[in-house]
Amino acid sequence: MPVVEPDQRHRNTNVIALANNKGGAGKSTITANLAGALAAKGHKVLVMDIDLSGDMRAAFGINDHPGNDEGESLVSSILSRDAAAPPPRIVTGIRPGIDWIPGGMQIWYLVVSAIRDEFPITTRFADVLAQVSGGYDYVLLDCPPSNPPLQEMVLAGSRWLIVPARPDPTNWDGLRKIGPVVKHVRQYYNPALSWLGVVIFGLPANASRITRISLDYLGAASGTVPVLDSTIRYQSAAALGSQMSGRLALEMATDRKTETAQVITALRNGQEVNTDRIPSSIDNLANDYMRLADEIVTRTQTAKVGAR
Ligand SMILES: Nc1ncnc2c1ncn2[C@@H]1O[C@H](COP(=O)(O)OP(=O)(O)OP(=O)(O)O)[C@@H](O)[C@H]1O
Ligand SMILES: [Mg+2]
């Protein structure tokens, strides 16, 4: 097992991993929308896609972006044996205040390398992150589900962990499994890794019995794993619209304002109005992400002040 380098405790202090073994828990959606909300508050954000699915592309509506290399630049930086190798290529300005390092199918080479035990990706990743993290207020890492080597690698380089979880029993298992991984990573690679907490994702307005039981479960677990105050409510129509159009919730909420003004003008002029409109629930969703961003900023900055 590698020994923790003392300097590793003080690098990448602005790096937040979003991880949960469970698929569909909201990792990618929260990564993109949290980036949007942090940028709207004036923070400079780097989004790093560590998933083979490369879902950040769809979330930001940049499927055809010329900078999309499916993760090739990131992978070659990590797998380089030369410590002075160039950092991964950053695609700048995918949104005001947001830069991107793409993921995609090339990430597979990291998995193969880890499985064959050919290269120490876990320790190397922290070095690669340190080459780029300094230029940002926050670096958000979107992790793949059910991929222990990549999860370990990501956590070994991160200062913070957010675990998105849906309020249903299928997500409990993911939560139960991530605790030991955090413990392992802290012990062998990265003692600075800390929980920001669990974010409840897809919280229905009228909690069913099973939702209440799930929330009780999380409450009981909160002695060991903090649960953030902010939640992301269940808004499937708004979320689907956002996903299909490649716009963040905040952007759609802004577009809805314009759309509403257009509808009012059309009605006043006796013109026909478009009935396929952005659902009003998008405003709630946008607010949820802004509140989450506030909480993240408060918690990370409080920790920084405490560390002085
Ligand atoms: N507020 C919401 N309410 C309900 N469903 C939502 C909401 N926001 C997003 N979704 C839906 O949740 C699904 C899963 O989200 P997402 O892809 O972010 O999860 P993930 O954890 O990244 O999944 P994977 O592990 O496969 O990478 C998406 O299909 C998305 O449309
Ligand atoms: Mg995802």
The model's pLDDT over 236-289, given as tens digits with 9 standing for 90+, comes to 999 999 999 999 999 999 999 999 998 898 899 888 887 788 999 999 999 999
Q: What is the pLDDT of residue 222?
A: 59
The model's pLDDT over 150-186, given as tens digits with 9 standing for 90+, comes to 999 999 999 999 999 998 877 777 777 888 899 999 9
Residues 175 and 163 sit within 8 Å (Cβ to Cβ): yes
Domain count, the chain: 1
- In-domain check, residue 135: yes
Which of 71, 160, 159, 84 has its CA nearest to residue 127? 84
Q: What is the pLDDT of residue 176?
A: 77
Please tell me the least confidently modeled range out of 64-68, 80-84, 290-294. Answer: 80-84
- In-domain check, residue 109: yes
Q: Give, for 37, the enclosing helix (H) or strand (E).
A: helix 27-40
State which ligand 1 atom lies nearest to the alpha carbon of 233. Answer: 1
Percent of the chain with pLDDT over 70: 94
- In-domain check, residue 204: yes
- In-domain check, residue 3: no
Instruction: Using most ligand atoms within 8 A of CB, pick from 29, 177, 285, 288 the residue to mutate for ligand 1.
Output: 29
Instruction: Using most ligand atoms within 8 A of CB, pick from 21, 28, 142 the residue to mutate for ligand 1.
Output: 28
Taking each helix axis from N to C end, the angle separating 170-188 and 209-221, rounded to the nearest 10 degrees, works out to 20
- Residue 204 is part of a domain; what is its CATH number? 3.40.50.300
Instruction: Please check the confidence at residue 128 and state whether its pLDDT lies above 80.
Output: yes
Q: What is the pLDDT of residue 21?
A: 87
- In-domain check, residue 274: no
pTM, two decimal places: 0.93
Q: What is the pLDDT of residue 1?
A: 46
Q: What is the pLDDT of residue 217?
A: 73
* Average of per-residue pLDDT values in the chain: 89
- In-domain check, residue 292: yes
- In-domain check, residue 30: yes
Domain assignment of residue 151, given as a range = 8-248+284-307
Q: Tell me the average pLDDT across 58-82.
A: 96
Q: Tell me the average pLDDT across 67-73.
A: 98
- In-domain check, residue 256: no
**Pocket residues: Cβ below 6 A from ligand 1:** 23-29, 51, 53, 55, 145, 202, 232, 234-236, 239-240, 243, 285
The tokens of 222 are what? Answer: 């909160």
